[in-house]
A and B are shown apart, each in its own frame.
Chain A
Amino acid sequence: MSESDLADLPATRAPQPGFRQPRHALWTAGGLLLATLAIASGYLYLTLALPTPAVADPLGPQIFPMLVSGGLFLCGAMMGLELWRSRIAIRRTALPAAPSETSFDLRSALMVAGITGWTALYFFVFERVGFVVSTIVFLFGLMSVFNARHPVVNAACATGFAFGAWLLFVKVLSVRLPSGILPF
């Protein structure tokens, strides 16, 4: 039986069956398990806190959410099971280490945090400063990081896109975009 056939089997074994799980993948899986349990508990707590209305349908608003939180706990249990099996597998097999797809990379995390923060700022000033200005600044900022050696192209692109989009959507299609500090 080849590896692809193994993949066809009902997937109750750990992912990447042909490889031993690297150590940090265990930590990631463990973290995910904890996160799942946290979400499930939080959701259950909020569900139980829902008041039961006086007049409602036979089932009421709580039943379905309780089923869902039950499902979330079930996922947690399944993850726990998979985690346990992986740990056993690590000790038993002498297979090579898996290519680290789920490796934690500080640089990537910082980058994502940075983009998120910058985009949140963009949204924050979107209405105040207006579409055109905020878009130009936003785009230029990102492009300067990811297309670093071409500031002119970046500026031209950012400005061109902002004005082009404004022309197309506000003027031609009369879609409402905030004008902010600009007079149009």
Chain B
Amino acid sequence: MQVETVTEGRGLRRRQCELATIAVCASIATCGAGGAVAQTGFPKRPLRLIISVPPGGAADFTGRVLGVKLAEFIGQNVVIENRPSAGGIIASEFVVKSSADGHILLLSSSTTHGVAPVLYRKLNYDAIKDFTHIAMVAVLPGMMAIHSDIPAKTVKEFIALARAKPGGFLFASSGNGSAPQLMGEQFKIVTGAPMTHVPYKGSGPAVQDLAGGRVQVMFDGLPSLIGQIKGGRLRPLAALADKRFSVFPDVPTMVEAGFAGIEGGVWYGVSGPSGIPRAVVDRLTREIHRVIAQPDVQERFGSVGGIALPLGPKEYVAFIEKENRKWAEVIRVSGAVPD
């Protein structure tokens, strides 16, 4: 027995030594390889695109479409990583703390950079200064849809009905601080229509209650509403954009319906941690804009009601700041969310 144990022990030690040696050699090899490639430029290894929602969300869809095409143009794989959390905080924090060499990117969105900076006052990062905003990708404008039993064919008729009903109408949203809620609050402020907010956990349950008639109106992107609109249970009243939707050419924009200042929707862009070298940023911006100019990419965006919007770094930052100001005002006036 004793002899056996001794042999086993030695064998184990030898095996452990082998393992350790392999590990050390491998690490040295990697460092060496990395150093050599660094001279030849960006990108040296696969990119990681961090998405702040679980797989299946509209952001996830956009990110994946973008990632697949970008990988073709940039010569390296683009790996999608989902790091979901409320307001995209965890994804944002992760990217802010990563190395600024352009390999780790965030799919910034209206949730992470439009609304979160004004909704959550205790963020560990600055939405503008701690990031390098590289490019804007797409915009998904919102739409106002009401239950088809309500006898209103225009926005003005709807507001009149709301005023006539004691307590006004109920509007659904996909959660607190969500785009549907903020668009609804914006509508309330501009038109003065009496509405009460009913939050749901996600767009699905919200649309369900809307189609069931328990709430009367919702402001959301096309993908969640289009099924019920085409099925006849919902009626679209207006598009919250400056152009009409191509799928609904008869539906006026808010401006055409008589109300300016009600514009909103979800948007997406690509950002990285602050300090990415200028050359890398330029390359990424160029390639991303190339991707979203492709007809098949535009078609896929269009299938979810998205419109490609190629903004560069400076314009993207300006856009984000404008959005922050707009939503901060809406939140302040409506008293929507305390923090």
Contacts and interface: CB of A to CB of B under 8 A. Distances in A.
Contact of B23 (A51, A55, A152, A182): A182
A152 B12 contact: yes
Nearest to B337: A53
A183 B335 contact: no
B335 A181 contact: no
A155 interface: yes
A155 B29 CA distance: 26
B15 A155 contact: yes
Given A55-B334, A55-B336, A183 B27 contact: yes
Contacts of A176: 79, 81
Contacts, number: 31
Contacts of A133: 23
The majority secondary structure among interface residues of chain A is loop
Nearest to B31: A183
A111 B17 CA distance: 30
B338 A51 contact: yes
Contacts of B27: 181-183
Contact of A151 (B9, B19, B336, B338): B9
A152 B8 contact: yes
Contact of A54 (B81, B197, B335): B335
A151 B8 contact: yes
Contacts of A182: 23, 26-27
Interface in A47-77: 51, 53-55
A62 to B, nearest CB: 13
A182 B28 CA distance: 10
Contacts of B39: none
B11 interface: yes
Given A152-B8, A155-B12, A155-B16, A183 B338 contact: no
A49 to B, nearest CB: 14
Contacts of B336: 55
A183 B8 contact: no
Given A54-B335, A55-B334, A176-B81, A183 B26 contact: yes
A56 to B, nearest CB: 9
B150 to A, nearest CB: 23
B124 interface: no
B2 interface: no
Contacts of A181: 23, 27
A183 B81 contact: no
A55 B12 CA distance: 67
A125 to B, nearest CB: 14
B44 to A, nearest CB: 14
B11 A152 contact: yes
B30 interface: yes
B335 A55 contact: yes
Contacts of B16: 155
Interface in B289-316: none
Interface in B7-47: 8-9, 11-12, 15-16, 19, 23, 26-27, 29-30
A54 B331 CA distance: 12
25 contacts: A51-B338, A53-B337, A53-B338, A54-B335, A54-B338, A55-B197, A55-B334, A55-B336, A133-B23, A151-B8, A151-B9, A151-B12, A152-B8, A152-B11, A155-B12, A155-B15, A176-B79, A181-B23, A181-B27, A182-B23, A182-B26, A182-B27, A183-B26, A183-B27, A183-B29
Interface of A: 51, 53-55, 133, 151-152, 155, 159, 176, 181-183
List 6 A-B pairs, minimum CB-CB distance, nearest first. Answer: A183-B30, A53-B338, A54-B335, A151-B12, A183-B26, A152-B8
Given A54-B338, A151-B8, A182-B23, 11 more contacts: A53-B338, A54-B335, A55-B197, A133-B23, A151-B12, A152-B8, A155-B12, A181-B23, A181-B27, A183-B29, A183-B30
